[in-house]
Each structure stands twice: as C-alpha cells, then as structure tokens.
Amino acid sequence: MTDERQLLIVEDDEGFARTLKRSFERRGYSVLSADSLESVMAVLADNRPGFAVVDLKLGPQSGLACVQALHAHDPAMLIVVLTGFASIATAVEAIKLGATNYLAKPSNTDDIEAAFARSGGDPAAPLAPRPTSIKTLEWEHIHEVLKDSEFNISEAARRLGMHRRTLARKLAKRQVG
C-alpha cells in the first residue's frame, strides 16, 4: 500500500509511541508502528510509508540501522530521528544514512511535522554566536564513545578511563527527555 500520509513510528517506549500515534492520526496520518529493525522490515514488506519517526536508541539496538533500512527501501521517505542522547556524531551519522532531520527529545508532533517540512536544509542558517564550551565538547565525546560501544555504559566508561558510576552520574545530569 502506498500512501502519501502514511507514517511509520519506530519507538520501543510503548507509551510514547502510542501518544505519537494518536497525535498523528488526529492530523490525518495513517500510522504504523515498529519497535526494532526486524519489525521495521516486516512493516516494509507490505507498506510504503512516506514518513518515518525513528528513536535513536531502541533497547540494545541503534535506530541508525532502521534509518539505513528505511532509506534503502525508499530514498524519498522523510525520516526524522528522535533522541534523548543528542550529539553531533549521531546527528551526522543519521543524516549520512538518510535521515531528513534530527531532533532532541522532548519533541512533540508540531516539532516533528516542522522537521518534515525542513527537509531541504537552509544555507542561510545562522552560525553559532560563540565557540563550543569544554562541557559541551566533553558531552559530545562521551556520546560518541557511547555510540561506538553500542550504548554499553560499562564499556564506554572503560574506553573513557572513568568509573562506570561516574559516567552514569554524568549522563543523568545532562539527560535530555
């Protein structure tokens, strides 16, 4: 089935997925749901959604594999990645793999629809007014190492040369969403 207003939500948090689904249905979308790469592939066997919202962290899996599969299935699909673990490294990877946009949680339906509309990019986007702080650089480095260690906190802490509890405290302090 090909439907211009068909949306696939790839989210492992059932409550959040249900809330997004209802919100998009009220806006006239036909909504499909998946919670893993395997379930995405099953949905794509019978459907051709024009839009997708993908959570970056799907339990032990990375949502980036879902982005890659969705883009390979239909390069014209508009894909927005949602994450509570925003970093420049994962944003770049998501865009390289075919995502249209990348949003940090908490994001609502208005934010996601606006991200679908901004799929072309803006060459006139303002440059950052000040250089990145040391804390932000540390945060981005931590998330890059987390991504490289497949979100295994113990392994990431070992690679960063810090105690696992210290890393967990740092992550809890700056949690987005």
Could you report the per-residue pLDDT of 128-170, keeping only the tens digit for each? Answer: 666 667 777 788 888 888 888 988 999 999 999 999 999 988 8
Same domain, 45 and 107: yes
CB 105 within 8 A of CB 176: yes
Could you report the per-residue pLDDT of 23-35, keeping only the tens digit for each? Answer: 999 999 999 999 9
Same domain, 138 and 106: no
The CATH code of the domain that includes 158 is 1.10.10.60
Helix (H) or strand (E) holding 169: helix 164-173
Same domain, 16 and 101: yes
pLDDT value, residue 118: 85
The CATH code of the domain that includes 94 is 3.40.50.2300
Same domain, 110 and 47: yes
For residue 106, is the peptide bond before it cis, meaning its omega torsion is within 30 degrees of 0?
yes
